[in-house]
């Protein structure tokens, strides 16, 4: 059987390079009586000379292999050509000025523009491309003051989660002296008089531990314009709660400061507030049980509106009068429906509610009493987002995208509910040649799981189609339809794109999410494996033509599934994955993931984690799929040590006749956000070329 299977594989996929020698050390941990070896622990030290030498050697092997693939250059050229189109972001107004992003095509970073009208051509306010030679300094966020006179903006270097905040005069385009550091996982919220803004920060990490030190004891501060950061006022901190993330913002009318306090990534939070009308007012602990999710929407006087999943796993809207905060006094404004309530925006005196109907967007508008005004007619089946603005606004903007529909911007008239197309990009991709279908398949335990399949029209289901199965399945995140140039090129190459909506995500509310967490995490992997089996059984593809891809938590997904069912997949692309499930909590923000994963510090959870941890479940002599592990040297979300250790162990365990198992380590890049476009094109060209060789593809343009 094995020899028959090998004969069916593309011959080009079988030749593997000689890997660098990676030393092993005798490191053993004892988890509740179970001895666990960790021979590549030394790769966790990203500053060590040995680690840097290992990265260099691995990159040389990987680079040589990828450059030898004949299709790579054609793929790279097509990616660059297709990406070369103007992209303009959604406009936002402050003080009569309109702010929006613009990319002329192949700029590494989009440029922030300011104009006098929403559809104005505008002028350059901030060009991140001028801040570094290689485009690795990115604009990580911006917030204009209420009068539009000043702009607070966040910069990230090399893709790190660490950010610096600076302040720019909008009229002159010049920066003030204000400079804030050690900012991470923070918004910016201006005082209504423009005197300063609220933000969150950590203490400076010890030298040499910037990208690995555990992030604890976040503080919520106020920065007064024209002062030094060390003079900032700490509005709220909890020295007894190292794992509380503290954020917040000022209400539109400037009367309240609303604080959101969350421990880890679990969708249960606390909400406190402070009355800004009274300078002596203290922070009031309004919701302090952390028994559900509470997303502040808006307020009418002393009545606060929240989106919550308390007693409503799919979400509802409630009203709490802060002068009568007892639960018995709470009022339901918009009840739970049969669909997941994904977001609620307050604009123009309306509550715009975005729902997920089998992972596709639907939008309904209500007044503040909960009376339904209308359902919005959307441009098609896809994903929407936006609906920002103020209570006085007559219109709002939203974006719409689908797997084959580049993101367009629409302007909604709030009085009539009618939309008009505001902007649509001109992309050299023939959307009409492709179609998207949604199917539902049974998982291992019979659970009905949705899945999107995107392909050229007239696809012949004969089991020969190169297919890329993508998934995530965690942290309540939803995998909704969305356009990307990289996926468009994959489709042009003759590939089929499949996106599975696995348990652990947020497609069907809290219960769907919790069904893929902690001791039930295996459900996620079962869902993904079942998706692959369905695609093969229904002759969309075959085992020899099936590849899997995922990033971050999705990288864990790919790592777990390729170790559990190595014979099911021909190729794997795990990106920035969480691969060592016993030690993830020891680095940066990893401790926050315990709410989804559990922890090796707990006996029962250790057993579950150890059973699927990709790094620990690789077995010597096994024939694993052709694998390209990708990570970045500045990833301080999922530290690259996860990928280093997994790749080293994978190369050690791969069968002698097995296909290539490689690692690609990007420099001056992080977890993904803010990556320079030039680097994204090169990385995608490498991934698609790797799949082309592994799956026996020969794309032509």
Task: List, by residue number, the catalytic residues.
Answer: 552, 671
- CA–CA separation, 593 and 447 (whole Å): 25
How far is CA 243 from each of CA 88, 216, 264, 499, 597, rounded to the nearest angstrom?
Answer: 38, 6, 7, 33, 16
CA distance 220 to 233: 9
Residue 104 makes CB contacts below 8 A (sequence gap 6+) with: 86
The dihedral of CA 559, 561, 565, 566: what is its sign?
negative
Contact (CB, 8 A) for 562 and 569: yes
Q: What is the three-class DSSP state of 75?
A: helix
Residue with tokens 């295996």: 522
Strand partners for 425: none
Name, in order, each residue with C-beta under 8 angstroms of 631's C-beta and a sequence gap of 6 or more.
575, 576, 577, 638, 640, 642, 643, 644, 663, 664, 665, 666
**What is the bridge-based pairing of β-strands 137-144 and 150-157?**
antiparallel
Closest CA to 653 of 553, 555, 559: 559
CB 166 within 8 A of CB 178: yes
Q: Write the DSSP string, 505-554.
A: SSTT-HHHHHTTSGGGTHHHHHHHHHHHHHHHHTTS--GGGEEEEEETHH
Angle separating helix axes 553-564 and 522-537, nearest 10 degrees = 70
Distances (CA, A) of 458 to 123, 309, 437, 491: 46, 43, 13, 13
| H runs (alpha helix) in 234-347 | none
651: Cβ–Cβ under 8 A, 6 or more apart, which residues?
19, 22, 661
For residue 72, the SS3 value is helix
The tokens describing 423, both together, are: 């902007």
Smallest Cα–Cα separation from 343: which of 372, 386, 291? Answer: 386
> For residue 6, what are its two tokens?
């090998």
Q: What is the dihedral of CA 149, 154, 155, 161, to 10 degrees?
A: 180
- The first and second tokens of residue 22, run together, are 């990676």
Cβ distance 437 to 452 under 8 Å?
Answer: yes
How many other C-beta atoms are found inside a 10 Å radius of the C-beta of residue 34? 11
- Residues 6 or more apart from 178 whose CB is under 8 A from it? 165, 166, 167, 223, 225, 226, 227
């Amino acid at each position: 059987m094995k020899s028959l299977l090998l004969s069916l594989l593309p011959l080009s996929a079988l030749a593997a390079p000689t890997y660098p020698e990676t030393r092993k050390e005798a490191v053993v941990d004892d988890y509740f009586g179970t001895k666990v070896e960790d021979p590549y622990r030394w790769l966790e030290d990203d500053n060590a000379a040995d680690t840097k030498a290992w990265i260099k050697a691995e990159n040389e092997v990987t680079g040589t292999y990828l450059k030898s693939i004949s299709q790579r250059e054609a793929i790279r050229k097509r990616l660059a050509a297709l990406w070369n189109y103007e992209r303009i972001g959604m406009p936002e107004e402050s003080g009569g000025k309109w702010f929006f992003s613009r990319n002329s095509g192949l700029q590494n970073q989009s440029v922030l523009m300011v104009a006098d009208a929403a559809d104005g051509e505008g002028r350059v306010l901030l060009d991140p491309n001028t801040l570094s030679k290689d485009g690795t300094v990115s604009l990580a966020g911006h917030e204009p003051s209420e009068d539009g006179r000043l702009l607070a903006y966040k910069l990230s270097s090399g893709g790190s989660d660490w950010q610096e905040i600076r302040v720019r005069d909008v009229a002159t385009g010049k920066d003030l002296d204000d400079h804030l550091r050690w900012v991470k996982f923070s918004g910016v919220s201006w005082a209504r008089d423009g005197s300063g803004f609220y933000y969150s920060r950590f203490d400076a990490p010890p030298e040499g531990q910037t990208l690995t030190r555990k992030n604890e004891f976040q503080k919520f501060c106020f920065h007064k314009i024209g002062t030094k950061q060390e003079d900032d006022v700490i509005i709220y901190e909890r020295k007894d709660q190292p794992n509380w993330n503290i954020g917040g913002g000022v209400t539109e009318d400037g009367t309240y400061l609303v604080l959101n306090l969350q421990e880890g990534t679990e969708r249960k939070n606390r909400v406190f507030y402070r009355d800004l009308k009274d300078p002596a007012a203290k922070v009031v602990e309004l919701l302090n049980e952390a028994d559900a999710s509470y997303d502040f929407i808006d307020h009418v006087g002393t009545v606060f509106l929240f989106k919550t999943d308390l007693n409503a796993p799919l979400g509802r809207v409630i009203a709490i009068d802060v002068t009568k905060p007892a639960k018995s006094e709470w009022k339901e404004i918009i009840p739970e429906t049969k669909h997941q309530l994904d977001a609620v925006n307050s604009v123009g005196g309306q509550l715009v509610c975005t729902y997920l109907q089998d992972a596709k967007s639907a939008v309904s508008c209500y007044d503040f009493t909960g009376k339904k005004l209308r359902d919005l007619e959307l441009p098609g089946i896809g994903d929407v987002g936006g609906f920002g603005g103020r209570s006085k606004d007559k219109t709002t903007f939203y974006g719409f995208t689908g797997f084959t529909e580049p993101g367009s911007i629409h302007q909604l008239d709030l009085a009539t509910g009618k939309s008009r197309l505001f902007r649509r990009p001109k992309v050299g991709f023939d959307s009409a040649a492709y179609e998207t279908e949604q199917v539902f398949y049974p998982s291992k335990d019979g659970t009905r799981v949705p899945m999107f399949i995107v392909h050229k029209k007239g696809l012949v289901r004969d089991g020969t189609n190169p297919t890329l199965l993508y998934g995530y399945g965690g942290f309540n995140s939803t995998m909704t339809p969305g356009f990307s140039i990289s996926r468009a090129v994959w489709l042009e190459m003759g590939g089929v794109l499949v996106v599975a909506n696995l348990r652990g995500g947020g497609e069907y509310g809290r219960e769907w999410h919790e069904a893929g967490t902690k001791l039930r995490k295996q459900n996620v992997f079962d869902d993904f494996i079942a998706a692959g089996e369905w695609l093969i059984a229904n002759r969309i593809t075959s085992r020899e033509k099936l590849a899997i891809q995922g990033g971050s938590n999705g990288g864990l997904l790919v790592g777990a599934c390729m170790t559990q069912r190595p014979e099911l997949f021909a190729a794997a692309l795990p990106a920035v994955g969480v691969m060592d499930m016993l030690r993830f909590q020891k680095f940066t923000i990893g401790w926050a993931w315990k709410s989804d994963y559990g922890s090796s510090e707990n006996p029962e959870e250790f057993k579950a984690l150890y059973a699927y941890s990709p790094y620990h479940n690789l077995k010597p002599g096994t024939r694993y799929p052709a694998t390209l592990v990708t990570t970045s040297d500045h990833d301080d979300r999922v530290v690259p040590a996860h990928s280093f250790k997994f790749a080293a162990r994978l190369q050690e365990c791969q069968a002698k006749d097995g296909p290539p198992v490689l690692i690609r380590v990007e420099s001056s890049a992080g977890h993904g956000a803010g990556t320079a476009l030039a680097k994204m094109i090169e990385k995608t060209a490498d991934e698609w070329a790797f799949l082309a060789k592994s799956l026996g593809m020969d794309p032509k343009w």
